[in-house]
Structure 1
Amino acid sequence: MIRAGRWLGAALLVALLSGCSSFGLVYNRLDTLVHLEVGRYIDLAPAQRADFDLRFAELWRWHRKTQLKLYADDLREVAEIAALPVAAGEVEALTARVRTHVVQLANQTFDGFASGVAALNDAQVDDLLAELAARNAKERKKALKLDDDQWRAKRAKESIERLDDWAGSVTPEQRQRIREWAAGLERKLPPADASALQPLRELLAGRGEPGFRDRLARLFIDPELAPEDQAELEAERAARSAMLADLSALATDAQRRHLQKRLLEIARELDGLAARPV
């Protein structure tokens, strides 16, 4: 249930980050995909499943009716901006707008699902935490197969491939700029124990207490960070914005046209999805 809202946002992110040409196919199958994802963490009783279905349907209708048009408008604006080099400040402003959409979706999700999360029994909470711990351990084991330099090279390769998909042939100068950005990344491995889950464990222990919805939202939307962690996060965002601005400055006319075409295609598809009856 906690992850339900992430799937709505993930559908758009898949389209934007991977260049998925079948966004509508993914979006229209979200109910099935969400059930599969939630089922990996929690075994819902029939009454809980019915409540989940109802709340997800309401969230999905709200998202289709009110949010997709906003996303399409943003993509058209980005397409217009992309005709010329984009400054780092403009990248940061666009990123902040995306975060605003994500926060709005998350808040709507918590409004609908917090009561369902609060109604989980102890066995379901234990299963959820155990599965999350197992997933973290699996991710750590996978991550440890690469040393830091290999990890940075992998990040650079993935970013180059993504740029190639979105903008066409990547120039040598752009490849080098991406590698420079990746070389400055600080790697964070998943923890070796379940300590990262302790805030969630404590939160779920008090799921029957007043104010649970707001505490749940704070944990996932705006978690409290230590000053040094906040500074590190802001530095990472600034470095990413600077890199994207440099890539924009290095873009060829053909790349700009290719990017604009892709953005406008997705915007039209979002408009079509938004126009469907809800």
Structure 2
Amino acid sequence: MRTTFSWRQPRSWSLLLLCLLLTGCATRVIYYWLDSAIVWQLDDYFSLDRSQKKLLDTEVKGLMAWHRQHELPIYARDLDALAKAVASPMSPEQVAVHLDKTQASLTRTLENAIPRTVRLARTLTDAQVAHFMGDRVKRQEERQHDFATESKAEMLKGFREKMNERLVFWIGKVKPAQEPLIAQWAEWQYEMMGPWLEFQGAWTKELERLMKQRQSPDFGKELTRLLQQGDGLMDGRFTGYTDQSRQRTIKWLSDLSQSMDLSQRAHLYTLLKDYAEDFEGMVGKG
């Protein structure tokens, strides 16, 4: 039975952003370095022993080899199609199609990664899990404190600045007519921050519960459920927010596409074509 993962999951979008931040001529260098970066990051989280590091190295190399062979050709094809699409104003329906393609790729990657994650998780000690969860809870508390103490004006300013930086990278100089779109995005981010932090707290508690049962035969199935349907926690209250967020994002990206001038379209087209060519050149290579 094929597992489908919610496009709304934060770690799915984290992976997407990682892929999107592979820029210019450094794309291949960064991609080939990812296996080492993943190993270093997880070792930092858990302080792995020698046998665990060996297992992690094997699993990550297997995941990356699979990804190069099976996913990079799809990345190249989908990015080429997206480059052609952005040359003209995109409707919400067109945006949704390309978002769905991205989610399909993330779903396949997670399907390959989860069994590997389960094998590693079963080797973790209680002390390693406690260290990881303690660090995650601490960072969650820091985010909640920042949200409670920082003024709305300060947060909105930060959201606008971040989005402006992203747009400058993707489409070049932002036009005055696009400033209202940036302001709208910032308002949405602020509006979602409270529910998002509440959800993150519930998700972390559920992950902690599962990690205590990592030797259970059902651990893999339960971890998949958390990644697949995690926004159904809290009696499904967050599902409505994420459905709304998806529709807002689709409309916002369509509105942005409608607002772009020829120079911005050319800028974005060139970036996407370069990514497509880079990924195509990496297919099957290690």
Q: Partner letter of residue 199 of structure 1?
A: E
Indicate the larger mover: 135-144 or 23-32: 135-144
Indicate the larger mover: 151-160 or 6-15: 6-15
Give the Å deviation of 1:71.
0.8
Cα-to-partner distance string for 1:163-221 (whole Å, 9 max, x where unaligned):
12211221111112221232244142546x96552211211121111121111111123
C-alpha contact 1:19 1:165 (8 A) present in aligned 2: no
C-alpha contact 1:41 1:132 (8 A) present in aligned 2: no
Q: Which one has the bigger helix percentage? A: 2
- Out of 216, 225, 228, the position equivalent to 1:221 is 228
C-alpha distance in structure 2 between counterparts of 1:20 and 1:146, whole Å: 33
Matched, 1:246 2:246: no
- Out of 199, 207, 211, the position equivalent to 1:204 is 211
Give the Å deviation of 1:160.
2.0
CA RMSD of aligned residues (A): 2.5
- Out of 250, 265, 286, the position equivalent to 1:256 is 265
Matched, 1:179 2:183: yes
C-alpha contact 1:12 1:23 (8 A) present in aligned 2: no
What is the correspondence of 1:259-270 to structure 2 with a 5 Å cutoff?
259-270=268-279
Q: 1:48: which partner in 2?
A: 52
TM-score, structure 2 length as denominator?
A: 0.85
Q: 2:241: which partner in 1?
A: 232
Q: Partner letter of residue 180 of structure 2?
A: Q
Change (3 A) 1:104 1:86: same
Cα-to-partner distance string for 1:99-126 (whole Å, 9 max, x where unaligned):
1211211111112221220222222221
- Out of 114, 136, 140, the position equivalent to 2:140 is 136
Q: 2:193: which partner in 1?
A: 188
State the identity as a percent: 23
C-alpha contact 2:133 2:208 (8 A) present in aligned 1: yes
Q: What is the aligned length? A: 271
C-alpha distance in structure 2 between counterparts of 1:89 and 1:231, whole Å: 21
- Structure 1: gaps (5+ residues): 1-5
- Out of 122, 127, 145, the position equivalent to 2:126 is 122
Indicate the larger mover: 108-117 or 217-226: 217-226
C-alpha distance in structure 2 between counterparts of 1:25 and 1:119, whole Å: 31
Cα-to-partner distance string for 1:203-257 (whole Å, 9 max, x where unaligned):
1121111121111111123312444321111111111211111111111111111
- Structure 2: gaps (5+ residues): 1-9
TM-score, structure 1 length as denominator?
A: 0.88
C-alpha distance in structure 2 between counterparts of 1:194 and 1:258, whole Å: 39
